[in-house]
Amino acid sequence: MAINDLVKQIPVREKLLSAPLTPLSDVRLLGSKCSSCGEVSLGEVSSCQNCAGESLTTIPLSARGTLWTFTVIRNKPPGDFKGQVPMGEGLVELPDGIRVKSPLGGDVERYQIGMELKFVAYPLYVNDNGQEVIAFRFDPV
């Protein structure tokens, strides 16, 4: 048995969420802050997308942000799309100096530019190995 078989929760994408994945209320998005120029990138990255510097510090990103802009997806995308429609997709401005593309929770008819949002980590589905795949979204506060 591979060690991965013992893991009950896995992130939807590697190097994106803080560990451990339980309790879910403690999970945060990870960012990488460049020590040369101060740019913050999403996830754990090995070089800065602004200055190509390679001295980066992994930081937990803020759990609160504001809605910078959004769109509403009303038609189910093809393929193995795991969500439900209609769903919101937004750019969430965080106080850390980064805008993050994220699914949005809540009532799509009530979205407003500038509204306050909170980060939510949640189990999206259970994979074939019986592991919960943990995804994230931002919900209206």
Residues near Zn ion (CB under 5 A): 34, 36-37, 39, 48, 50-51, 53
Minimum distance, C-beta of residue 50 to Zn ion, in the bound complex (Å) = 4
Closer by beta carbon to Zn ion, 50 or else 127: 50
Query: Which CB atom, from 53 or from 123, has the smaller least distance to Zn ion?
Result: 53
Burial 33-53 (b: 16+ CB within 10 A, else e): bbeeeebbbbbebeebeeeee
Q: How far is the CB of 49 from Zn ion (least distance, A)?
A: 8
Q: Choose between 37 and 85: whose C-beta lies nearer to Zn ion.
A: 37
CB of 59 to Zn ion, least distance (A): 14
Rounded least distance, CB 98 to Zn ion, Å: 13
In the complex with Zn ion, which residue's Cβ is closer, 22 or 55? 55
